[in-house]
Structure 1
């Protein structure tokens, strides 16, 4: 039945905050506090607009933002409802730690393995050691286990893999997936390659960025790429001359260093702390600076607004281009989104995004957002390099966006990942940081303890990553990076129980 809104919704027309943002914040707070509960139906946008004395656009824009964040869900022909918030919202605004029921994976399709919340059948004591389970899960190189092709589709390969970098792809909406590829098959082969990407997909991606990230862009600002690494490579090819210095966070994404070095750039490690890149002391001679402000990789910090402003002031003063990797910014928990750097200064920032984390790595679609002038330069580079993004894949992604399937997938994924994140916080408590966003957290440890913990966890069948390999030079941040993208809720609980036991000396 329709919900009678008794919330104290008060919109101040004289406030500097837009009415849409005010309404979204108040509805979000009501859901966090339990005044709006899972499954309850909201009034129509027209009725709520009439009640508040505002235009319907104010309400629909607020609803769209809450849809994108996973707070609301639509039911065809029925209306707008509060989504399943178990593990996301609680009376105090924190994550609920009650074990959620098992169900479909983040893509919302039928589950073809055990439900995500179901026991895996192997407790920590019965797990095969990672060194021996590697033969079943994939192949080994040194002391690292690499998943073989198809291994990630096996619900239980004898190892709990809590290393970062992969999303949940075991379950998906088969109907939406097939519909997208049928749409791609209807597109005839094309003999002309647009270096900017398909115009229809660029328009849809611009809309997605406006909804999901609040970035005011049009299709003229969007180039379709094959992912963030590809976008960075295009920028390096266009902007770097041999010997130019390029800043990369330290510790930071190793592939970014490799890409820049391959284009002749000299790496300048730029220190970070728990909040992100340190703006004081940045060199004045950097041509580009690669940064991950929404969820620093691998420490997990969110760059605060004052530091963002100082970073952009540095870029304007030095003429450097800031490359903002927004690799998992769609996933936020219990926090409001911070504005993208690009939205604060489109002239000095290039925004990179990808579907690798939000959908699946093998889709091979990303985007690069920049000024039309810079996109023109990048388009010329692509033509010279005979570089392209698959046309049929672009068409399939366009169908997912056009029908709302990607937005629905993100809402379900956000709730599913939120349950796993809540489980980590419940078991490991205040030991972890970087849990407000993304698909990994950071567990800081004394330097001498890291190797022992990782080795002991591997003996109990739990794979972990460390910060060591993410440094370019001297290791300054010691600890373990715990990913929860590709592990089920039961596996996350199991793996974190092993970590907690080891930290307690058990």
Structure 2
């Protein structure tokens, strides 16, 4: 740890650094921005010694955790370097740094407006990622060096890691599944678009859960596919109401999005039987299937019917969208067709996020993260359900994932609640936007992963107050 540096010995302590405690931007980010700017314009120069995090915290009258976080960020970016037993020093400015660079914006405190608390689904608990593991994985991933050619299927090490992940955390029955059945993808929507372009006839009909994931709807339509609605209830897709004459059915059987049901065994069997009888593909979106809190995660549909199921997964809900990677598990004829499509359009999944996931999984860190994630989100879900039910509000959705549904009587009420919540600093998500056609379900899809626990506790009474009279 750096030695304390007296005030007179560091040029940093002579600079005017304005930090605004009431601004949206965290103090650590403000401080890192100010120091980076000072180095860019020459107020701090290569070789300048910086005060210790403790001394700087005293000088600015802020917490040492703030100064430590700012130093950590600048060290990762290459602006500063620590020398054992000596202290922390400014490096030379990184290549391309300009002396006339635009200074960071002045952050004025926001008056009469609270910071927004985000209670929407589909956002991961990114704050729960161990930063030491995160940094180590990125450093190790960089050791591979630049690539010389595209890997259309994705890196073999990544595809092997996906198979292992599905075996350990998603109940995949290996059978004939190997890394050869896995393709790296850029995420669910990208994979669905590729699948439609490579396998489905242009103009074909695909049934999509209604309400359901609208980015999937968009990806299919962009590929020239005709989307038809498939109704859902509290147990997920209603199999007998899937229209006839479709080429594929897109569904989320482990945790229907956004209603939150789990497709029971009898419906799974019926779905597979119809697919085989009528020549469908079943596209299984397993966006958060790892996150169950009452029982072990249900086995993926691909284990039951590898001949008709294409399984899609993603890292964006269990880790972060930063990685930008997912996977497709399918029979060889499907993966071969998708690779041919990629060759024809010159598309390849980006390898950086693949390498990082491999490193996170390599030493068991992914499994430890998932156990911690399940524990945290299970506790948060219990808080949400208990607080709202104590106020007499109905809440539904399986004990899984990172959201529940709070029903409301109609679309007008849904919109009014969202607007009034926004006025009080809370971002809510209504079920309207999850419909492609006329709205059938009304209410809020209430997420609990994006915020802190304190924010969640403070926001729930507001949500209860706004919704309390509407359910009566």
- TM-score interval, normalised by the smaller of the two chains: 0.7 to 0.9
Instruction: Return the match for 2:407 from 435, 444, 448.
Output: 444
**Residues 248 and 257, structure 1, Cα contact 8 Å, conserved in 2:** yes
Aligned position for 2:421: 457
Distance (whole Å) between structure 1 residues aligned to residue 454 and residue 398 of structure 2:
18
Q: Does 1:169 align with 2:126?
A: yes
Report the RMSD for the aligned CA atoms in angstroms: 2.0
1:202 to partner: Cα distance: 1.0
Q: Show the counterpart of 2:434.
A: 470
* 1:311 maps onto 2:290 in alignment: no
Q: Normalized against structure 1, the TM-score is what?
A: 0.67
Aligned match of 1:89? none
| Contact kept in structure 2, 1:305 and 1:338, CA below 8 Å | no
Q: Which residue is equivalent to 2:72?
A: none
Measure how far apart 1:171 and its partner are.
4.8
Q: Tell me the matched-pair count.
A: 355
Matched, 1:206 2:193: no
In structure 2, distance between residues paired with 1:197 and 1:452: 46
Superposition deviation, residue 157 in structure 1:
6.5
Alignment correspondent of 1:372: 332
Q: Equivalent of 2:136, from 147, 168, 179?
A: 179
Spell out structure 1 runs of 4+ moving beyond 6 A. none
Counterpart of 1:326 (choices 283, 286, 300) is: 286
Q: Distance in 1 between matches of 2:208 and 2:66?
A: 41
Task: Describe the SS at the equivalent of 1:313.
Answer: helix
Match of 2:152, SS state, is: coil
Asked if 1:256 corresponds to 2:216, the answer is: yes
CA deviation profile, 1:273-320 (whole Å, cap 9, x unmatched):
111111113222111111011111111111111111111111011111
Deviation for aligned residue 1:494: 1.9
- Distance, in Å, in 2 between the alignment partners of 1:190 and 1:162 is 40
| CA deviation map 1:175-213 (0-9, x unaligned) | 211221122211132222221111111111101100000
Gapped regions of structure 1 (runs ≥ 5): 1-110, 114-150
The correspondence for 1:504, drawn from 447, 451, 468, is: 468
The answer for the alignment partner of 1:431 in structure 2 is: 394
How is 1:337-486 mapped onto 2 (pairs within 5 angstroms)?
337-429=297-389, 431-447=394-410, 448-486=412-450
Name the residue aligned to 1:103: none
Aligned counterparts of 1:367 and 1:228: Cα–Cα separation in 2: 8
Contact 1:222 1:367 in 2 (8 A): yes
Given that residues 201 and 394 in structure 1 are in contact (C-alpha distance below 8 angstroms), is that contact kept between their aligned partners in structure 2? yes
- CA drift at 1:425: 0.9
Q: How does 1:120-199 map to 2 (within 5 A)?
A: 158-199=115-156
CA separation of 1:435/1:279 partners in 2, compared to 1, >3 Å: closer, same or farther?
A: closer
Say if 1:340 and 1:112 are closer, same or farther in 2 by CA, change over 3 A.
farther
Q: Tell me how far apart the structure 2 counterparts of residues 489 and 251 of structure 1 sit (CA, whole Å).
A: 29
TM-score (ref. length: structure 2): 0.72
Residues 379 and 475 of structure 1: is their aligned pair in 2 closer, same or farther, counting only changes over 3 Å?
Answer: same
Q: Following the alignment from structure 1 to structure 2, what is the Cα–Cα distance between the partners of residues 168 and 393?
A: 18
Once the two structures are superposed, what CA deviation does each residue of 1:388-425 show, in whole Å capped at 9, x if it has no partner? 12223322211111111111111111111112111101
- Secondary structure (helix, strand or coil) at the match of 2:241 reads coil
2:261 & 2:363 partners in 1: Cα distance? Answer: 34
SS at match of 1:481: strand
Please, which of 254, 260, 274 is the counterpart of residue 300 of structure 1? 260
Moved more, 296-305 or 390-399: 390-399
The answer to whether the 8 A contact 1:421-1:435 is kept is: no
The verdict on how the C-alpha distance between 1:234 and 1:334 changes in structure 2, with shifts beyond 3 A counting, is same
Checking the alignment, whether the CA contact within 8 Å between 1:293 and 1:326 is kept in structure 2 is: yes
2: CA distance, partners of 1:316 / 1:251: 25
Q: How does 1:35-184 map to 2 (within 5 A)?
A: 158-184=115-141
Shift of 1:453: 2.0
Query: How many Å separate the matches in 2 of 1:226 and 1:504?
Result: 41
- Give the distance between the partners of 1:479 and 1:378, measured in 2 at CA: 38
How far is the alpha carbon of 1:338 from its aligned partner?
A: 2.2
Any idea what the Cα deviations from partners look like across 1:217-255, whole Å, max 9, x if unmatched? 321221111111111111011122221111111111111
| Preserved CA contact (<8 Å) 1:240 1:263 | no
CA distance in 1, matches of 2:261, 2:221: 25
1:505 is displaced (CA, Å) by: 4.5
Hey, what's the Cα distance between the residues in 1 that align with 2:180 and 2:252? Answer: 24
In structure 2, runs of 5+ residues without a counterpart are 1-64, 68-106, 108-112
Tell me if structure 1 keeps the 8 A contact 2:289–2:401: yes
| Cα separation, 1, equivalents of 2:255 and 2:144 | 37
Whole-Å separation in 2 of the counterparts to 1:160 and 1:399: 32
Counterpart secondary structure, 1:200 = helix
C-alpha distance in 2 between matches for 1:455 and 1:377: 46
Q: Secondary structure at the match of 1:417?
A: helix
Larger Rg: 2
The 1:260–1:361 alpha-carbon spacing in structure 2 relative to 1, beyond 3 Å, is same
